[in-house]
Structure 1
Amino acid sequence: MARQGSRADDTGSAESLTVPFPAVAGGMPTVSHRSQTVRSMARRVSWGLGDQAVSSLTNFLVGVYVARSLDATSFGVFSLVWVTYGVLLNVSRGLGTDPLTVRHSGEPGPEWREAVGRSSGTALVLGIAGGLVGVVVGLLIGGSLGNAFVGLGIVLPALLLQDSWRFAFFAVGRGQYAFVNDLVWAAALVPGMVLASHHHTVSGFVLAWGGSSAVAAIVGAAQARILPRPAAFRTWVRLHRDLGYRYLVENVSTSGASQLRAYGLGAIAGLAAVGTVRGAELLIGPFLAVLMGLSLVSVPEAARILRRSPRRLPQFCLVLGSGQALAAMLWGCVLLFVMPASIGHYFLGDVWDESSRLIVPITASVMSASFLTGAAAGLRALGAARRSLRAQLVAAVLYLGGGLAGAAVGGAYGSAWGVVLAQLAGAGVAWWQLRDGLRDHMGGLGPTDRAQDATPPAEPDAPPTEPIPTTGARPAPAATPTPGHPGDGATDDAAAHATGAPRIPVVARLRTTTQPDTQSGSPERSSR
């Protein structure tokens, strides 16, 4: 395999090394090639939305079921456990799956299989370590909250492993496999929730929710035909420490701020206030399915756009953020003006009366966060880990400060509006960093790279139930290379196509050696 040495190559997909670009006169894609690219992107995005719809709908129904089965205080305990799980999940993603999606997107060849074994092993190790800590902390705390944390510790390895399979599938454009895997989890949840409802304890619901993920984790291994490699944990972290540690801090700062806000809100206004905020978040949950579904595919798509035409990256990020914000506003209007209060009472029970007051600020908060996530996708695609980290740290501090200051002034309602202001400021910082990061990236490209606008051909989806092949990638479709001028790489491309050697895009040919990171001052290490 060719070494991936440049920043653009690190964030690109393996498709750039294995799939010949179509030869188009003047180096620009035709209308048919553009429409083919749009259809291919729409297909991948649709699987991301479908998978996240299943995942978020499942989470929504679990939250509703627990809210109706427990009182407000017990639901607040469940919410604290849920937020804690979110922090640990982001630790796993920062060290395991985020580097995988950045550096190993493309076709499911041997390189991807090796990387998935290591990243899933990393998730399993982190789940076991975090689970042990959760059990110890739960035993020390005692009571209902302590028992809930013990339950989380028991099921955490399965939860993190199942999540790692989802990202592995999306890294190679196989969102249909993640979709099926989440359907399996949803089906396994049904008997677990029914059994837990007979005990009416928070820990019982936690065990049912997390325990059912073990079924999906086993199915994920069968789909990928890959076993996790926990022994490769240190190797994986070492190979990707230039990205992993920064993504770890970035992810944990975001989820950690949410957790600290929940803890602070509980200390200031009581556990019932935490349940109130969680209830409002459940109301906005169907839209969050769209937001999170796009996040699964936004970084790989942004990396593809960056590789083909860097100047279009800000447009993609703006469209991404604007579309999410518009969808959030429409869903908020549905909640305010269309949905009867009786439905809210049915789903949330006693939590509805207070949670309904938070619909407007929660909707505004998600709209602001949409622009932040749009810029964040661009920063990830650029491989600008330091700029991305800076933006997320500032956003996390603002989120925590705004949430706690608002809680001190007006309880759950004040906390929600404090978060709105914080998200607006955080989005501004993220776009500022994206502008500077793209300027740095364009400054390191030659004129040919800046004008590059090639479009790789789309490939049909594999059947959702077909296991991922155990051999290398599918053969690249044939293409007839056109002769080019010396230095433009066309002659080299023809030779590579004739011999079956992997093609190296223009950016990779210009910069196949270690390149210093203009932000951190340290070289960015390539992955094999």
Structure 2
Amino acid sequence: MPIMTSVQADERRPAIPRSNALWGVGDQAVSMASNFLLTVIVARVSSPRDFGLFTLTMAGFILVLGVARAVVSEIVIIRHAVLDIDEQQVAYRQALGATAAIAVPLAVIFLAAEAAIFGSLGSVTVIIFVALAPLLLQDAARFLLITVGQARLAFYNDMAWLVLELVGFAAVLELAGHGRQTELVVAAWAVAGAACALIALRQLRSFPHLAGGAHWLRRNADLSWPAVVEFLSGQGAAQLVLFIVSAGVGVEAAGGWRGAFVLFGPLGVLTTGLGMAIVPALARQFHDGDRSSALRTCLVAAAVVAGASALLGLVLTFNLFSIGSELLGKTWPLAAAVMAPVAVQKTLEAFSLGAVVGLRGASLVSRSMRVRLVLAALSIAVASFSFATTSLRPVAWGQAAVMSIGLVLFWLQLVRHVRNTPAKHRVAGRT
């Protein structure tokens, strides 16, 4: 195959508009609103026990979704943004096929785990099991649309899901009896998502290629497995730290600490949406040897997210407008006691985002994985000190200190790569 110059490659790639990042953030906001609405409606129509079972089932679904993203979707935005239009069409069919291929074993694992935990399969579990493949495809298609600079279409797709689920919820609340409302609400959400998966495939003008999916998984295993390990280590450490803190200083204090993190939920819209949108641009910049632009993009992203986090942290720490106390109610005093260290931790984490997305854009997932494993071990070690204190505040400050180490390590990895990479180095794209 003849080697194309950067200019020729740019002409063959779909353009990524500057507004793509904003549409990406908007898309993530709509997606989170859809899931939030589902949780609120289920909470209103369910008994406390049924709602507890629902939250555990959804936690399993979110874990499965995160693994699917690590195996396929994140790799798509890292590796396929540098391909030309014709190569992208082939690669995207294969990536969708890979998503469909892993949906089956993930669904079986999900079902087996739920059965092992609860002793039997509930209706909500079965509904999500049946709908898992189209739901994973819809999410993968979102990533693909953002990668090709069509985050606007991803936003429209998630908005369609929100509208369809609202119609479904209204019908259930109006027509269904109280006995099966929980299952019917979840079914309305899942059916809306499955319909939007078909719409997304139409938007992409691409459909899954199962045989090509197996080829895609083999070819991209060098990035997907480190991404899965990083995701699971981060999620696993966070949950283990919460359990350790609960055992050390008590469930009430741990609940207040968790409540402090929940108040930073809106920041997740910005971090996730912005990260999804700028990684394709970074992949192209590193691919074309434009190191200075890539590093500048990372710094700007870090500054934007860290600035937003610091501002939110100040508002919550000083309880301006009574936001914290209004949202958390009786839990607020416990959350307020650790709000300052949590705000510092979240701001440091936000500034680290620039380096994390930079490492992804440079196809260096294994490096960010190693840093994440170090941070997981340090977080668990710091949490263990909760058994030696009656206050959670020292442990919270310790977690902030761990994140400061993470910030240094993430940026050190990125800066070393930028300095040691020749100006015209290209990261290999794979189909």
Range into which the TM-score falls when normalised by the shorter chain = 0.7 to 0.9
Q: Which residue of 1 aligns with 2:282?
A: 302
SS of corresponding position for 2:267: helix
Q: Aligned residue for 1:364?
A: 344
- For residues 326 and 145 of structure 1, the distance between their equivalents in structure 2, rounded to whole angstroms, comes to 45
3-state SS of 2:198 partner: helix
Q: Are 2:270 and 1:290 equivalent residues in the alignment? A: yes
1:350, CA displacement in angstroms? 6.7
Cα offset for 1:51? 1.2
Report deviation, 1:182: 0.9
Change (3 A) 1:72 1:433: farther
Q: Which residue does the alignment assign to 2:72? A: 96
Q: 1:230-249 maps to which residues of 2 (within 5 A)?
A: 230-249=210-229
Tell me the TM-score normalised to structure 2 length: 0.81
Q: Is the 8 A contact 1:265 1:411 kept in 2?
A: no
Measure how far apart 1:424 and its partner are: 2.0
* CA deviation vs aligned residue, 1:370-414 (integer Å, no higher than 9, x gap): 122111111122223332322232233334444565588568877
Say whether the 8 Å CA contact 1:55–1:289 is kept in structure 2. no
Deviation at 1:289, TM superposition (A): 0.9
Relative distance call for 1:158 and 1:246 in structure 2 (3 A) is same
CA contact (8 A) 1:277 1:355 kept: yes
CA contact (8 A) 2:263 2:324 kept: no
Q: Is the 8 A contact 1:13 1:104 kept in 2?
A: no
1:377 to 357, 361, 373: 357
Looking at structure 1, the residues matched to 137 and 3 of structure 2 have their Cα atoms a distance apart, in angstroms, of 28
Of 87-96 and 152-161, more deviation after overlay is shown by 152-161
The one of 339, 343, 351 aligned to 2:321: 339
Is 1:395 paired with 2:375? Answer: yes
| 2:94 paired with 1:114 | no
Distance in 1, matches of 2:93 and 2:245, equals: 40
- Equivalent residues in 2 for 1:409-488 (5 A)? 409=389, 417-442=397-422, 445=423, 449=424
Change (3 A) 1:64 1:359: farther
Partner of 2:161: 185
RMSD: 4.1
Higher mean alpha-carbon deviation, 408-417 vs 80-89, is at 408-417
- Equivalent residue in structure 2 for 1:132, among 100, 108, 114: 108
CA contact (8 A) 1:81 1:149 kept: yes
The 1:208–1:141 alpha-carbon spacing in structure 2 relative to 1, beyond 3 Å, is farther
Q: Specify whether residues 379 and 265 from structure 1 end up closer, same or farther in structure 2 by C-alpha distance, changes over 3 A only.
A: same
Is it true that 1:251 corresponds to 2:259 in the alignment?
no
The 8 Å contact of residues 15 and 105 in structure 1, kept in 2 or not, is answered as: no
Q: What secondary structure sits across from 1:226 in the alignment?
A: coil
Structure 1 position 267, deviation (Å): 6.6
Which residue is 1:475 aligned to? none
Q: Using the TM superposition, give the Cα deviation of residue 172 of structure 1 relative to its aligned residue in structure 2, in angstroms.
A: 0.7
1:239 maps to amino acid: R
Question: What one-letter code is carried by the residue in structure 1 that aligns with 2:95?
Answer: S
- Equivalent-residue separation in structure 2 for 1:394 and 1:370 (angstroms): 18
Contact 2:244–2:384, Cα closer than 8 Å, also in 1 = yes
CA contact (8 A) 2:201 2:207 kept: yes
Q: Deviations for 1:268-302, whole angstroms, at most 9, x for unmatched residues?
A: 67887776566544422222211111111121222
Aligned positions of 1:492-503 closer than 5 A? none
Distance in 2 between residues matched to 1:424 and 1:164, nearest whole Å: 32
Does the Cα contact within 8 Å between 1:79 and 1:278 map onto a contact in 2? no
Partner of 1:326: 307
Of 144, 147, 156, which aligns to 1:171?
Answer: 147
Taking the aligned partners of 1:177 and 1:298, their CA distance within structure 2 comes to 16
| Aligned partner letter, 2:158 | D
Provide structure 2 residue ranges, at least 5 long, that are not aligned to the other structure: none
Q: CA 1:200/1:276 → structure 2, altered by over 3 Å: closer, same or farther?
A: farther
1:222 aligns with 2:202: yes
CA shift for structure 1 position 87: 3.1
Q: Counterparts of 1:131 and 1:295 in 2: how far apart (Å)?
A: 27
Q: Is this contact kept in 1: 2:244–2:386, CA < 8 A?
A: no
User: Is the 8 Å Cα contact of residues 14 and 106 (structure 1) preserved in structure 2?
Assistant: no
C-alpha distance after superposition, 1:4-44 (max 9, x if no partner): 9xxxx9xx999536269xxxxxxxxxxxxxxxx9xx76312
Provide the residue aligned with 2:10 in structure 1: 16
Which is greater in Rg? 1
CA contact (8 A) 2:137 2:197 kept: yes
Q: How many residues align?
A: 425
Q: Cα gap change, 1:281/1:178 in structure 2, threshold over 3 Å: closer, same or farther?
A: farther
* CA displacement at 1:178 relative to structure 2: 0.6
Matches of 2:187 and 2:242 in 1, distance apart?
22
Q: Take 2:386 and 2:41, find their aligned partners in 1: how far apart are those partners?
A: 29
1:236 Cα deviation from its structure 2 partner: 0.7
CA contact (8 A) 1:60 1:282 kept: no
If asked which structure has higher relative contact order (CA below 8 Å, sep 6+), I would say: 1
Percent identical among aligned pairs is 29
Q: Is the 8 A contact 1:368 1:424 kept in 2?
A: yes
Judging changes above 3 Å, is the alpha-carbon distance between structure 1 residues 367 and 290 closer, same or farther for their aligned structure 2 residues?
Answer: same
Structure 2 counterparts to residues 481-520 of structure 1, below 5 A: none
Q: Which moved more, 1:306-315 or 1:220-229?
A: 306-315
User: CA distance change for structure 1 residues 63 and 235 in 2, over 3 Å: closer, same or farther?
Assistant: same
The structural deviation recorded for 1:135 is 1.5
**CA positional deviation for 1:327:** 0.3
| 1:256 positional shift | 3.3
User: Normalized against structure 1, the TM-score is what?
Assistant: 0.68
Tell me which protein shows more helix as a share of its residues.
Answer: 2
In 2, Cα distance between the equivalents of 1:200 and 1:291?
A: 37
What residue identity is the alignment partner of 2:326? Answer: G
What is the one-letter code of the residue matched to 1:422?
A: V
Q: Does 1:314 align with 2:295?
A: yes
SS of 1:42's partner is coil
Q: Aligned AA for 2:307?
A: L
DSSP-derived class of the 2:309 partner: helix
Residues 341, 316 of structure 1: alpha-carbon distance in 2 compared, 3 angstrom cutoff: closer
- Measured after TM superposition, the shift of residue 180 of structure 1 is 0.7
Distance 1:420 1:63 in 2: 30
CA drift at 1:218: 1.8
Larger displacement relative to structure 2 (71-80 or 175-184): 71-80
The question of whether the paired residues in 1 share the 8 Å contact of 2:260 and 2:342 is answered with yes
**Post-superposition offset of 1:349:** 6.8
Tell me, what secondary structure is at the counterpart of 2:18? helix
2:101 maps to amino acid: V
